[in-house]
Amino acid sequence: MKAAVLREPGNISTHPLQIGEVSQPEVRPGQVLLRVRACGVCRTDLHIVEGELPVRLSALIPGHQIVGEVVAGATAELPIGSRVGVSWIGGTDGTCWYCRHNAENLCDGPTFTGYTVNGGYAEFALARADFVFPLPASLDDLYAAPLLCAGIIGFRALRVAGVEQGERVGLFGFGASAHLAIAVLQAWNCAVYVATRGESHRRLAAALGATWVGTENDKPPVALDRAITFAPSGDVVIAALASLRKGGVVAINAIHLDRIPQFDYDRLLWGERQMRSVTNMTRDDARDFLRVADEIGLRPKVTAFSLDRANEALLAVKNDAIDGAAVIVV
């Protein structure tokens, strides 16, 4: 099968993914084999390909927003031809303290799709049958793919931030995840304040109905109940913290941050403000979000790339060169 394989991490401009033929994986008990139809491109893929996350496999196929069709390993619940999604959480041990306490996102022995096992930048991919999600028929392949990490994680971030109906919510950064979260926030009657670099991201936020839009250096005109940051930048986290009312929460939606700068506790955190990270996702987050996406008719803005252009897709994500989400169509 054709696949994009990472053998040595490197700057994405040097095209570290090698596109070529590899052997097709064989299904084992408990797994399904999927013919990949589309795979979303996530900033985490970029961190993996550029080596900001430690290497876990010597030859890795990235990609953890897989839309695929079951072609082997079918079960009664997942007959041949079922269209399913696979996300970042490819499996858990089911036995650790976190798994037993309804926090499988924090599992001590997790499997991560496209990182600790091969992912979806390929014509075929394996997945654990109990970690795939049937997809609503209303979402075609291209639109479903970005929901599977960008969407689910953004949704989890809203939960971690404790967003309630009608609140004032800041989105700091406006890439794939934020442009999906805003639709959910609007369904919850929230006022959304967007601070982001990049003229076209600001235009998209305004077009999608943000109450206020500013640059990364602008401060929202009101104190926010909640804020979610999406950029891999500690400065952005501090800017978000500085925009909160007392008791407000910042949820940091980033697997990697450059650093956290020193900040003034008395002014920024005192007053029971909270700063929390958003880590992975649970299967309940995935199911709940896909249901919401179906109900509100969520349609991501997507740019399609062929598998041959996987490096270019990641470069576009790095440079914020596209609005919405990049998707590899296989």
Q: Is 325 in the site for Zn ion (CB under 5 A)?
A: no
Taking contact as CB under 5 A, which single stretch among the options 15-23, 26-34, 44-52, 319-327 is the one that binds Zn ion? 44-52
Nearer to Zn ion, 63 or 248 (CB): 63
Q: Is the Cβ–Cβ distance between 295 and 274 less than 8 Å?
A: no
Which of 320, 236, 237, 317 is closest to 49 using CA atoms?
317
Q: Identify residues 266-305 at the interface with Zn ion (CB under 5 A).
A: none
Q: Give, as ranges, the residues between 218 and 277 that touch Zn ion (CB under 5 A).
A: none
Q: Site for Zn ion (CB under 5 A): how many residues? A: 8
- Which CB atom, from 86 or from 213, has the smaller least distance to Zn ion? 86
Q: What is the DSSP string of 237-272?
A: HHHHHTTEEEEEEEEE--S--S------HHHHTTTT
Amino acid, single-letter form, for residue 90: G
The nearer residue to Zn ion, 31 or 253, going by C-beta atoms, is 253
Q: Rule CB under 5 A: say whether 96 interacts with Zn ion.
A: yes
Could you say whether residue 92 binds Zn ion (CB under 5 A)?
yes
**Choices 99-107, 154-162, 207-215, 280-288 (CB under 5 A): range interacting with Zn ion:** 99-107
Per-residue interface string for the shown chain with Zn ion, residues 147-176, x marking contact by CB under 5 A: --x---------------------------
Terminus-to-terminus CA distance in the chain, angstroms?
11
Minimum distance from residue 258 beta carbon to Zn ion (Å): 18
Residue 66 as a binder of Zn ion (CB under 5 A): the answer is: no
105 binds Zn ion (CB under 5 A): no
Can you spell out the DSSP letters for 125-142?
EEEEGGGEEEPPTTS-HH
Quote the CA–CA distance of 253 and 172 in Å, as a whole number: 10
Can you tell me the distance from the alpha carbon of 46 to that of 94, in angstroms, rounded to the nearest whole number? 29
**Separation CA 160–CA 252 (nearest Å):** 9
Using the minimum distance from each CB to Zn ion, give the nearer residue, 155 or 193. Answer: 155
Among the residue ranges 9-17, 89-97, 291-299, 311-319, the one whose residues contact Zn ion (CB under 5 A)? 89-97
Q: Decide if residue 107 touches Zn ion (CB under 5 A).
A: yes
- Work out how close the CB of 278 gets to Zn ion at its nearest, in angstroms, rounded to a whole number: 11
Member of 36, 39, 44, 313 binding Zn ion (CB under 5 A): 44
- What is the DSSP secondary structure assignment for residue 165, as one 8-state letter? T
DSSP assignment, residue 113?
B
Residue 99 binding Zn ion, by CB under 5 A: yes
Contact present, 114 and 120 (Cβ < 8 Å): yes
Tokens describing residue 34: 């999927």
Is the CB of 253 or the CB of 311 nearer to Zn ion? Answer: 253
Can you read off the two tokens belonging to residue 161?
């931030």
Angstrom distance (rounded) from CA 140 to CA 310: 21
What is the binding site for Zn ion (CB under 5 A)? 42, 44, 92-93, 96, 99, 107, 149
